Amino acid sequence: MSQTTQKQAYRWLLRQTGSARYWLLISMGLGLLNGVLLIIQASIMAGMIHQLVMEGATREMLTDDFFRVLVLVVARGACTWGREFCGFRAGACVRVEVRKLLLDKLRRLGPLVIAERPAGSWSAIVVEQVEELQEFIAKYLPQMALAVMLPAIMLVVAFPRSWVVGIIFLGTAPLIPVFMVLVGMKAAQANRKNFQALSRLGGFFLDRLQGLETLKLFQRTSFAQTQLADASEDFRIKTMQVLRLAFLSSTVLEFFASVSIALVAVFLGMSFLGHITFGGEVTLYTGLFLLLLAPEYYQPLRELGTYYHARAKAVGATEEILDILSRKESEAHHGGLSLPEAMPLTLEVKELSVSATIKSAVNPLPTDASDNKQPLLLDRLSFKIEPGTRVGIIGSSGAGKTTLINTLMGFWSYQGEIKAGGQSLADTRLGSWRKAIAWLGQQPLIIHGSVYDNISFGRAVSREQCLDALARAQGMDILANLPDGLDSVLKEQGGNLSVGQAQRIALARALVLPVRLLILDEPTASLDSVSESLVLDALDAIPDDCTVITITHRISQLKAMDQILMLEKGRLVADGSPATLARESASYQQFINMHCNQGSLDNE
């Protein structure tokens, strides 16, 4: 990572502290108060020893001083606890905000961008790398202020007592931050490589864990174990490189601090013995006070050096976070108009093309498709879908069916024109368009939470709406088999449900709010005949004003469609009703005959 990138990451981190400013100010204030109390404590302790040695005071005469020191120790302990608490709260506020930024960004980027990385890699970024911001916010930022203020106060106290000690303090203090920065620059680079290795390891491990049954089936567990060992070894090496730099930094800082304290101790001892006569008169009280003050003068700088590695970690973690947050969103290529609600939802597609080089809707296609040398996933599609129509999309694997529905949902950039309700999709705000759409895929997503949580999915819907949606999805029998009804907890990935039950809960999620367009991607592909029948009954009960687009290979479902769109190698080769296509389209007839001869239908 270049110096410019590091500075950009650092400035971005500072901008995220707005929500934590209150806690940071309190943390700095408590740290400053702790330093002032420490100076007072050192003065009292030096005075006590001076009285005992030089003035012959008894222990009874120093009772009040002992009590004052005890109060100061307790007060400093309270300040330290308060600093830790406020620092933690500040870090928590920033981590929550950054995670919210990341998750909102990923939601806007869409599933195609998320599919570019393994799930474990995203988890490492959102969890582990954001967690590395904690110490930077909680400790490094307050310590930056304290490393300036506390030494300045101690210099003001030290100079009147001995200008030589003041000069030693002033001359040696800059050595610590200088070497701290030199070592920290290498630490930032090492941390960046370490986070990249952790991201790769997280994605690799989670993918292999999820595919463990497949690995066993194909007898590839030993190979996967070797790969995991290699990835773990790579992560171990990069982690040890970070630790090596951390220990080097600590050694350098301790060395210069120790040398500086030794200089102060030698000067004070020689002055007290009369061997050095310049720099002011040094009494036992003065010498002890300045000697107690010396390690505490360098302590804020040493702590800043220690926390500088937190800065290096945070900057390294921020690089990948900024890469994600800086990606252009699909909304950037769409207008701000709302979808007209009064108009019937007619879909008109004209000369629709999608390039294979575009991974998501974050980049526009070239203006002239003829200049695009890359293959097209969709090649000049044109069709019209009337409101309330049941549409089936068919074609062989790789024909472009999933690409078409992803384009309609706004996740791919395209060339051509898509109109919804007479309004161009390019002029429509995607948030408004997607509120009118519901989607149901092959693999239902079930989160760890109640049945209500899985149906509402964070939206403001009532329990009555959830029950109504579940009834329309033919899923009331699911509640009968669960102990607490809507409040029954479902395991992640539907561990305590059958695939058919999970699919019906996902269908209830799609139907819980009124939509004008329902998109189904092989909704019955993984279901048995009983579950398939229940899901199809639920789909038949969808209101007539809702347009339903279904990707399917089931011939029995095709017969119930109003319109069939058949794709082949990204081109639209058939468009019409099943009866019309059966008479007039050779491609459609060939498709039907092929699947009838197979006896069963393959899933994409």
In a domain, residue 233? The reply is yes
Question: Given this model, what pLDDT does residue 604 score?
Answer: 38
The mean pLDDT of 2-7, rounded to a whole number, is 64
pLDDT per residue as tens digits for the range 187-237: 656 666 666 676 667 667 767 776 777 777 788 788 888 887 887 787 787
In a domain, residue 535? The reply is yes
Least confident residue range of 155-169, 202-216, 282-296: 202-216
Which of 459, 478, 505 corresponds to the end of one domain?
505
Question: Given this model, what pLDDT does residue 169 score?
Answer: 84
* Residue 582 exposure: Cα atoms within 13 Å on the Cβ side: 10
Nearest to 564 by CA among 403, 409, 391: 391
Which of 463, 484, 505 corresponds to the end of one domain?
505
Question: Given this model, what pLDDT does residue 22 score?
Answer: 93
What is the SS3 assignment for 237-290?
HHHHHHHHHHHHHHHHHHHHHHHHHHHHHHHHHHHHCCCCCCCCCCCHHHHHHH
Question: Given this model, what pLDDT does residue 542 score?
Answer: 82
pLDDT per residue as tens digits for the range 586-601: 888 887 777 665 544 4
Same domain, 75 and 216: yes
349 and 391 in contact (C-beta within 8 Å)?
no
Question: Given this model, what pLDDT does residue 366 score?
Answer: 42
Q: In what order do the strands lie in the sheet with 547-551?
A: 437-440, 517-521, 547-551, 390-394, 563-568, 571-576
Asked if pLDDT for residue 384 goes beyond 50, the answer is yes
Same domain, 376 and 292: no
Q: How far apart are CA 210 and CA 197, in angstroms?
A: 20
Same domain, 406 and 539: yes
Least confident residue range of 166-170, 194-198, 268-272: 194-198
Same domain, 367 and 480: no
Question: Given this model, what pLDDT does residue 602 score?
Answer: 42
Asked if pLDDT for residue 1 goes beyond 60, the answer is no
Same domain, 226 and 165: yes
If you search the block for the tokens 């092959």, which residue do you land on?
A: 442
Same domain, 97 and 167: yes
Question: Given this model, what pLDDT does residue 181 score?
Answer: 63
293 and 46 in contact (C-beta within 8 Å)?
no
The number of folded domains in the chain is 3
In a domain, residue 351? The reply is yes
Question: Given this model, what pLDDT does residue 88 score?
Answer: 93
Asked if pLDDT for residue 80 goes beyond 60, the answer is yes
pLDDT per residue as tens digits for the range 440-479: 888 888 888 888 888 888 888 888 999 888 888 888 888 8
| DSSP letter assigned to residue 308 | H
Residue 115 pLDDT grade (very low, low, confident, very high; cuts 50, 70, 90): confident
Asked if pLDDT for residue 381 goes beyond 60, the answer is yes
564 vs 603, residue with greater confidence: 564
Same domain, 385 and 310: no
Same domain, 274 and 155: yes
CATH no. for residue 401?
Answer: 3.40.50.300
Question: Given this model, what pLDDT does residue 361 score?
Answer: 41
Which of 265, 295, 325 corresponds to the end of one domain?
325
In a domain, residue 162? The reply is yes
In a domain, residue 90? The reply is yes
Asked if pLDDT for residue 294 goes beyond 50, the answer is yes
Which of 38-52, 296-310, 524-538 reaches the highest mean pLDDT? 38-52
In a domain, residue 211? The reply is yes
Helix (H, G, I), strand (E, B) or coil at 144: helix
Same domain, 29 and 69: yes
Which residues lie across from 394 on neighbouring strands? 566
441 and 521 in contact (C-beta within 8 Å)?
yes
154 and 293 in contact (C-beta within 8 Å)?
yes
Same domain, 209 and 293: yes
Question: Given this model, what pLDDT does residue 188 score?
Answer: 57
Domain that holds residue 58: 3-325
Pair of tokens at residue 313: 């970690």
Question: Given this model, what pLDDT does residue 556 score?
Answer: 75
Q: How far apart are CA 320 and CA 98, in angstroms?
A: 12
Asked if pLDDT for residue 579 goes beyond 60, the answer is yes
Question: Given this model, what pLDDT does residue 198 score?
Answer: 67
Q: How far apart are CA 507 and CA 510, in angstroms?
A: 5
Question: Given this model, what pLDDT does residue 362 score?
Answer: 38
pLDDT per residue as tens digits for the range 405-427: 888 888 888 888 888 888 888 88
Pair of tokens at residue 33: 């108060």
The mean pLDDT of 325-347, rounded to a whole number, is 74
Q: What residues contact 33, with CB distance under 8 A and at least 6 apart?
A: 79
Same domain, 173 and 262: yes
CATH no. for residue 251?
Answer: 1.20.1560.10
Q: Residue 459, Cα to own-chain centre: how many angstroms?
A: 21
Question: Given this model, what pLDDT does residue 594 score?
Answer: 74
Asked if pLDDT for residue 135 goes beyond 70, the answer is yes
Torsion of CA 408, 412, 417, 423, to 10 degrees: 50
Question: Given this model, what pLDDT does residue 81 score?
Answer: 95
In a domain, residue 510? The reply is no
Question: Given this model, what pLDDT does residue 360 score?
Answer: 43
Same domain, 57 and 18: yes
The mean pLDDT of 350-374, rounded to a whole number, is 56
Q: What is the mean pLDDT of the chain?
A: 81
581 vs 30, residue with greater confidence: 30
Least confident residue range of 2-11, 78-87, 473-482, 499-508: 2-11
In a domain, residue 168? The reply is yes
Asked if pLDDT for residue 250 goes beyond 80, the answer is no
Pair of tokens at residue 421: 């309700």
Least confident residue range of 221-230, 368-377, 442-451, 506-515: 368-377
Residue 185 pLDDT grade (very low, low, confident, very high; cuts 50, 70, 90): low
If you search the block for the tokens 């590839």, which residue do you land on?
A: 220
